[in-house]
Structure 1
Amino acid sequence: MYDYFGFLEAHELSWSDVARGEDKNLVAAYRDYCFDVVKLARNTVRQRLVYVCEFYKYAVRQGWVTSLPYSFELRHVTQSGGFLAHVDSSGGKREVRSVMPRKHVGIVKFLTVDEANRLLAAAENAHHHAIIRMALKTGLRREELATFPVSYVFDPDKAGVRTRNVRVALDPADGSGMQTKGSKPRVIFMSRELMKFLHRYVVHHRGARASLTNEEPSPLFLNQDGRPWARDGKGIEAMVRTVGQRVGIRTHPHMLRHTYATHTLVALQRQRKNIRIEPLVFLQKQLGHSSLRTTMVYLHIVNELADDAVLAYDDELDDWGDIES
């Protein structure tokens, strides 16, 4: 509200001038100022306008002004698909304030295969390399990477695993310290090669860091002091950004999650005739989304990525699989 009244004062406008005829109404003028001059993000502008509009509703109730400075209009909205959605007679339309900017679905940002490989090459530190590689190959959230237990890692060869993928149960209740969103357990699948890579990492690199303290840390990944990363993964966030800056790539752990999800969905969609699982359902379970609607954000790019190199995503990343011991 302070910013809104500052805008009015700077332009010699009165907040109570709600009947401006054909002139642009006060709130619409402020909205355009936020977009065109201040260059604010769409969601930020929407949040500010909510407060301004609520102020005018209060002003009308108090009798300070006789009407609102804006009107209402019907707009199409996405149906929730929830309980009793089938009896909704609104036709997918809702009455909204005319000054509110329309919601835009954000474009998912992800790395190309080349960018992913460049990022891995820039991670010369074996521990950072392992974290980034696991993020790109599993889509785990940063807090899941930070708390992934070393006890989950094993040698597929000694275990007699011959399948291409390995089943891993992420269970916050198993006493391992694993943390998932909402503490909900889920099963993920990682490639057998990734599990072999992680086992080599434990044997050749993790032990040195673990020996720096007298404790027995349960997470797979440890910081330079031999202690677990912060459970919220903020330290991992900073590390990924720093590694990306070395090669001119602006990235973060959630973008690595988007990268995994995007390329995996594209590959599954193009091979769906040869597989027995619905791609979106698989990806939903893999990412731990509570709603399939959340996973559907990746669908819009499926038809846009026609390059055959997409199908080689997993194999090309495997070129970086071996950490020199």
Structure 2
Amino acid sequence: MGRVLTFFDPLVRLLLVAIFAASVLPVSGQGAVIARSVSDVAIFLLFLLNGLRLPRAEIWRGMRNARVLVPLILWVFAVMGLAGWGVSEIAEGILPASIALGFIFLGVLPSTVQSATAYTSIAGGNVANSVVAAAVLNILGVFITAPIMAFVANSGTPGVDLSGLQRIGMILLLPFVIGQALQSRLGALVQDNRTMIGWMDRIAIAIAVYAAFSSAVVQGLWSLLDASGWALMLGLVIALLAFAFVGAWMVSGVLGLPREDRISFLFAGAQKSIAMGAPLAAVLFPPAVAGLVLLPVLIYHLLQLVISAPLASRFTPPQ
């Protein structure tokens, strides 16, 4: 057990604290309104910092690497999106509708940035490709994930707040654009204080999770599922996780990519970002729905770290 716990990064520990706090001390009424406002400010700051620290040159260079990037985009958003929809069809009618919707949301989320890059480095993969690909995927995620979820809402699935698309522009896109515009002036300040900025990122994500889970707890989150329901949800997450890792590795082989690029494709293609998922859920879904939608994402995020650490070590080239 201690070995598994070493895989928990500071973000995972903060998320567990946020979930525990929301379970014990959920906010409701006016407190929930205040909590969501604080969450919105934290998310705005998170995307402002992302805009400040992501060099435009890296974005353009990554977008020119079509041999890796185009298949990766199709895998992350199209194939994994269809896989998430398939899992949601299994869950529908057995699990609450918002949790079933969460599997679709999980499927169309972009990749992680930090952990995908870290594990690619440990495994001896192409770190530059991983950094650029994950960054581009996260930018595209704002434009792809939200419209897909809006389409799902129009097709009859309950839960998506279509007015959230406007909030996407104001709370996610606007601060990112501002950050890019101010990068030449403030970018160095962000780079010089990476430790502090990293903690600000994690705290912003934890605040978004706390606000979402508070609303879900008030709505009766922990009484919605019995033991068999939790077991089914965990099993479906594990199935989706296995499909993501095995499928990403096989696709990279079919593409004929060199080993280093296959490793970067594996981790960027199989991992899903709670750093993007929590803010998107908080902005796109009503408060009572967001916490339930995030459940599959949080479980997937934890399990992907547990799997990625030994997997990366196995790929590590001999010294």
TM over 0.5: no
More strand by share: 1
Q: RCO greater where, 1 or 2, for CA within 8 Å and sep 6 or more?
A: 2
> Over alpha carbons, which structure has the higher Rg?
1
State TM-score, norm by structure 1. 0.24
What is the TM-score normalised by the length of structure 2?
0.24
Larger relative helix fraction: 2
